[in-house]
Structures are given as C-alpha cells and as structure tokens.
C-alpha cells in the first residue's frame, strides 16, 4: 500500500523562494504548472512503489499482482485498480487545498503471506525502497545538473525553473512517501515489513492477531499522528545531508 498526504507543496530550505504557493483562487499559470509537475511525480512515484511490491511478490512466489498486470511502470493498471486514490482525490485535493493526497495498492494472496512471512515482509519493503531510489536519483540529477550548469532559476524571482523544480518535487515527494510507508503500523508497509525481524512462528501469530482485529483505520490514524511530529526532523536531516552543498 502507498499513501501520501501533505498540507501543501514541498519546501526546500536552500531555495531562495519556498516551493509552497499561497492559495490563488484564479489558478494562475504558475500554480497550474506546479500542480501538473506534482501530479506527474505523484503518479510515477506511486506506480513505481506498487510495481515494486508486485515484482518482489512475484519473485517470492505470489503472482496475484502480476496476473493483474501490476508488474509494470505503465500507470494504467494501477489507476484501474485505484481510480479514486490515483486520479480523483489527488486532483480534487489540489484544486481545493493546493496540497495533494492519494493512495494506491497491490493485491496479494493472504495464504502466501502466512506461509512465507519473510517474503511478504520483503514485498512490503520493496515499495519504500523504490521511493528512496527515486529520491536518490533526483539528488543525482540535481547535483549533476547543477555542476554542468543545466539547472537554472528565474533571474527575476529566483524561483527554480521547470527542470530543477521537477527534481526537487521528486526528491521531496519520494522522501515523504518512503518514510510514511515505513511506519510500523498496519496497513502501512512497515506494519508488514517488521515481520522480517520475527521468527516464522511469531510472524504467523502476528498475522493472526492482525486479522482477528480491525486495526487498519486505527493504524492509519496513529501513523498520521506520529508522522506529523517526526517527519520534519527527518526531512531537515535528509535535505542537509543530500542537498546542502548544492542549494
């Protein structure tokens, strides 16, 4: 599962101007362009996240998602599975709040998960791993682009131009997606990933406990509350470590 929510567009403490835009009822070209970049990044990043789940599940012996056509970077099968989470809600949330929220999912066989809890844990962790990989590729693009003089800012406003803006959005978005989904609470990926550190019998007992209770909504609420308090320091640390010398 992947999910993402943010109060507004990402910021970068080393940008001359924040990437957050104030509410503009007339939907200026600047805001619409930013929304387009944000949505394309969201769609591609979420597709990679779910495709990684599906691929690792297939390699581990569960072809449920593969048979549904989700071992692909084509977003269409993922959109067909979650049209509200990947199209309708992200666009509506941006229109009304200038932030974006959405979700996606990949199916799996619960009986396979119970027989192979560690394989299921690897499947779960594949999604955040894909997001962190995209984040690091964005960092690489920013560093190479900056050193080669390919990335520029508007000479009047100091705001990043399209190529730099796109890479910054990919960095911020995938850091957010990967970190949020690693929270060790169901139904987030971290809630399954922790089985990698359990014995098989303990992991099976854990799965039985989860299925005997309805923790999905409670876990999501707890995850959102926790994330609100610790993500800021995580974002600052990652930005300092990976982007400080460039921005």
Task: Report the pLDDT value the prediction gives residue 129, as an integer from 0 to 100.
Answer: 97
Task: Report the pLDDT value the prediction gives residue 208, as an integer from 0 to 100.
Answer: 86
Nearest 5°: CA angle at 163, between 140 and 14? 65
Task: Report the pLDDT value the prediction gives residue 6, as an integer from 0 to 100.
Answer: 41
Task: Report the pLDDT value the prediction gives residue 171, as an integer from 0 to 100.
Answer: 95
Per-residue pLDDT of the chain (247 residues; tens, 9 = 90+): 555 544 333 333 333 233 333 333 456 788 888 889 999 999 999 999 999 999 999 999 999 999 999 999 999 999 999 999 999 999 998 888 877 888 999 999 999 999 999 999 999 999 999 999 999 999 999 999 988 888 888 777 778 888 999 999 999 999 999 999 999 888 889 999 999 999 999 999 988 888 866 666 677 777 778 888 889 999 999 999 998 755 5
In whole angstroms, what is the distance from residue 10 CA to residue 29 CA?
18
Task: Report the pLDDT value the prediction gives residue 154, as an integer from 0 to 100.
Answer: 76
pTM of the model: 0.85
């Amino acid at each position: 599962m992947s999910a993402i929510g943010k109060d507004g567009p990402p910021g970068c403490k080393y940008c001359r101007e924040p990437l957050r835009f104030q509410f503009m009822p007339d939907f200026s070209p600047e805001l619409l362009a930013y929304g387009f970049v944000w949505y394309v990044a969201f769609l591609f990043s979420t597709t990679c996240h779910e495709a990684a789940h599906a691929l690792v599940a297939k390699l581990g012996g569960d072809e449920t998602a593969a048979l549904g056509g989700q071992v692909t970077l084509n977003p269409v099968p993922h959109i067909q599975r979650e049209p509200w989470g990947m199209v309708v809600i992200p666009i509506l949330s941006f229109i009304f709040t200038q932030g974006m929220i959405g979700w996606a999912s990949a199916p799996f066989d619960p009986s396979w998960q119970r027989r192979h809890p560690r394989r299921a844990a690897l499947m779960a962790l594949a999604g955040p791993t894909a997001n962190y990989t995209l984040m690091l590729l964005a960092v690489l693009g920013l560093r190479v682009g900056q050193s080669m003089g390919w990335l520029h800012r508007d000479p009047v406003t100091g705001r990043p131009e399209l190529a730099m803006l796109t890479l910054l959005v990919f960095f911020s978005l995938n850091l957010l997606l990967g970190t949020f989904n690693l929270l060790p609470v169901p139904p987030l990926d971290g809630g399954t990933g922790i089985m990698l550190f359990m014995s098989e019998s303990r992991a099976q007992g854990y799965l039985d406990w989860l299925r005997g209770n309805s923790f999905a909504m409670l876990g999501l609420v707890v995850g959102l509350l926790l994330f609100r308090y610790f993500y800021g320091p995580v974002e600052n640390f990652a930005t300092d470590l990976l982007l400080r010398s460039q921005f």
